[in-house]
Structure 1
Amino acid sequence: MTPREIELLTIAKLEHEGHQLTPADQREIHRSIQDSIAHRNRFRNMMTSPAYQWKKPDTLRR
């Protein structure tokens, strides 16, 4: 499902349950879905990237 479909289904479910959503509520739903997708992508990148290994510098910095 695309983020837009998730957003529309969430809004439709809330309205079906009797809630009246303002445009601010809809923007908040949109923002939270986008944030969770970005978080999921950052986590995936962090888990699939190679482990950091420190290497001693060749020369001293002075």
Structure 2
Amino acid sequence: MTPREIELLTIAKLEHDGHQLEAVELRKLKRQLEDGAALSKRYREMMTGPVYRWSKPVPRR
């Protein structure tokens, strides 16, 4: 499900439950959904990316 579909379903559910959504609330909801999608994408990239290998730095002489 795309973030836009989730946004529309959430708005429809809230309005069905009797809530009156203002423009501020709609912007906040949209921003939260976009942030959540970005976080899940970053997490997926981090988990599927190459393993980090630390090596001890060469001492200066």
Same fold (TM over 0.5): yes
After TM superposition, where is structure 1 displaced by more than 3 Å over at least 4 residues in a row? 55-60
Supply the RMSD in Å over aligned alpha carbons: 1.6
Residue matched to 2:12: 12
Aligned length: 61
TM-score (norm 2): 0.85
CA displacement 1:22-53 (0-9 Å, x = unmatched): 01100111001001000000100110111111
Residue matched to 2:43: 43
Structure 2: tracts of 5 or more residues without a match = none
TM-score (norm 1): 0.84
Bigger relative contact order (CA 8 A; separation at least 6): 2
Partners of 2:18 and 2:57 in 1: how far apart?
64
Structure 1: tracts of 5 or more residues without a match = none
